[in-house]
Amino acid sequence: MKPKICTFFDQAIEMGASDLTLKPGAPPAFRLHGHLIHSEEEPLASQEMYDLFLPLIDAKKQICMRDRFDTFSMYPYKDKSRIRYYLFQQREGFAGSFRFIPTKVPNIVDLGLPLDLEVQASKPRGLFLVTGPAGSGKTHTLAAMVNSINRRFSRHIITMECPIEFIYSPLQSIFTQIEVGTMIPTYQDALTNALREDPDVMLIGEMKDRKTVEMALVAAETGHMVFSTLPTLGAGASMERIVSFFPTDKHEEVRLQLSLNLVAIFSQIQIPKISPQQTPNIAYELMIMNSAIRTLIRDKKYSQLPSAMVMSKREGCMTLKDSLTRLLREETTNQSVVKAMLQEIVE
């Protein structure tokens, strides 16, 4: 007999949902293209939640649930999807949050992203940041860029994630995929070891602390291409976030390192269309480094970066304002959302 939770997984995959939330006292809730859609199922009972999740968790994770009251991991579901889940305790009992990762690695064209990303991703060394709020598609963008390298170049690509999301098939490149937290304790440990493994390209799931940023910059300085993410929107906010990890007396040095080693920053956000059944548009900002932009970063003149990007359009730069303005011309775009975002930028 098929476990009940698999019925919910099948429903989510069939409708193309990105996320599923299961909690007692409420019916299953699916996130489709940014919209939360409630199932017509009966609300889940508190006493059934733990048994509902049992097919996902081995003995070790059951102990974790008992002692820490939460656990997270990836669950390969048939050949349909990889499911990133987080199970936790809350007021009414156990609950679960599930993110569905396609088994097929996306490509830049299918995601509707600029082809300039492929050009910048093919650089031999440097730091490339993909930024944006949670749920904006950063993981998909990173995967598409890394796989574009895999299709075209013979390189050793090391990915360090918590947990591993997309599984890559070697084409021209070879892959080493490391799961932080299970295969190795921390991102710092993973980066230290990765530098001993003859890498060409390194993917770091997220830069969350000073040590990870320091090691990413060292890797870029020593001839590696490094990709990572931040939960910020815009190049200026991303610079401020990175520098904030360091004490004040280090800020000037860090800005200099960033100005010398950054390749590009791609910031993205999903813009819903009028119908929740339609795939949302991506509004984005692409800052590609040049001498003028390097100088602004070094001198902490972040507010001038949008103007520098406008002046560098021929090099592939795009401001978030210009990207949003383009979306206003599309009939299916949710105009009110775009106009509100444009108003925020003006203010």
How many folded domains does the chain comprise? 2
Question: What confidence tens digit (pLDDT) does each residue in 13-61 have?
Answer: 999 999 999 999 999 999 998 889 999 889 999 888 988 988 888 777 7
Q: What is the mean predicted confidence (pLDDT) over 322-341?
A: 88
Backbone angles phi, psi at 238, to 5 degrees: -70, -40
Structure tokens, 294 = 């390097």
**Predicted confidence band of residue 302 (pLDDT cuts 50, 70, 90):** very high
Kindly state whether residues 21 and 165 are assigned to the same domain: no
Rounded Cα gap, residues 38 and 2, in angstroms: 22
Tell me, yes or no, whether 87 and 137 share the same domain: no
Name the residue type at position 70. D
Residue at 109 is within a domain: no
**Domain ends where: 69, 102, 135?**
102
107 domain residue, yes or no:
no
- Edge-to-edge order in the sheet of strand 126-131: 174-179, 156-161, 201-204, 225-230, 126-131, 262-271, 281-288
User: What is the extent of the structural domain holding 219?
Assistant: 116-346
Considering the domain architecture, whether residues 64 and 164 belong to the same structural domain is answered as no
- At 104-136, the pLDDT tens digits run 999 999 999 999 999 999 999 999 999 999 989
List, as one string, the DSSP characters of 143-182.
HHHHHHHHHH---EEEEEESS--SPPPPSSSEEEEEEBTT
Q: How confident is the model at residue 206 (pLDDT cuts 50, 70, 90)?
A: very high
DSSP helix/strand/coil, 70: strand
Q: Kindly tell me if the per-residue pLDDT of 64 is higher than 90.
A: no
Specify whether 120 is located in the same domain as 94.
no
Beta bridge partners of 288: 264
- Residues 304, 246, single domain; the answer is yes
Q: Are residues 167 and 45 in the same domain?
A: no
Residues in the chain: 347
Closest CA to 255 of 239, 270, 268: 239
Same domain flag for 213 and 326: yes
Is 123 in the same domain as 260? Answer: yes
Please give the mean pLDDT across all residues of the chain: 93
The pTM of the full predicted model, rounded to 2 decimals, is 0.91
Q: Quick one: tokens of 201?
A: 């390209």
Any idea what the CATH number is for the domain that residue 66 is in?
3.30.450.90
Query: Is residue 132 in some structural domain?
Result: yes
- In a domain? residue 108: no
Residue 324 belongs to domain with CATH number: 3.40.50.300
Q: In this structure, are 135 and 232 located in the same domain?
A: yes
CA dihedral (49, 55, 59, 65) positive or negative:
negative
Would the pLDDT of 63 be above 80? no
Tell me if 194 is assigned to some domain: yes
Residue 82 is given by DSSP the state: E
Does residue 1 register a pLDDT over 90?
A: no
70 within a domain of the structure (yes/no): yes
Q: What is the distance between the alpha carbons of residues 321 and 342, in angstroms, rounded to a whole number? A: 6
Q: Are the beta carbons of 157 and 168 closer than 8 angstroms?
A: yes
178 vs 81, higher pLDDT: 178
Q: Are strands 29-32 and 19-22 parallel, antiparallel or unpaired?
A: antiparallel
- pLDDT at 67 > cutoff 80: no
**Domain shared by 8 and 123, yes or no:** no
Cα first-last separation, the chain: 57
| Residue 83 lies inside a defined structural domain of this protein | yes
Instruction: Answer whether residue 110 is part of any domain.
Output: no
The arithmetic mean of pLDDT across residues 262-289, rounded, is: 91
Q: Are residues 163 and 312 in the same domain?
A: yes
Judge whether 70 and 62 are in contact, CB under 8 Å.
no
Listed in sequence order, the DSSP H helices in the chain are 4-15, 49-53, 59-68, 116-121, 138-152, 187-194, 210-221, 235-244, 251-261, 291-298, 305-311, 320-327, 335-346
Residues 126 and 97 both lie in one domain? no
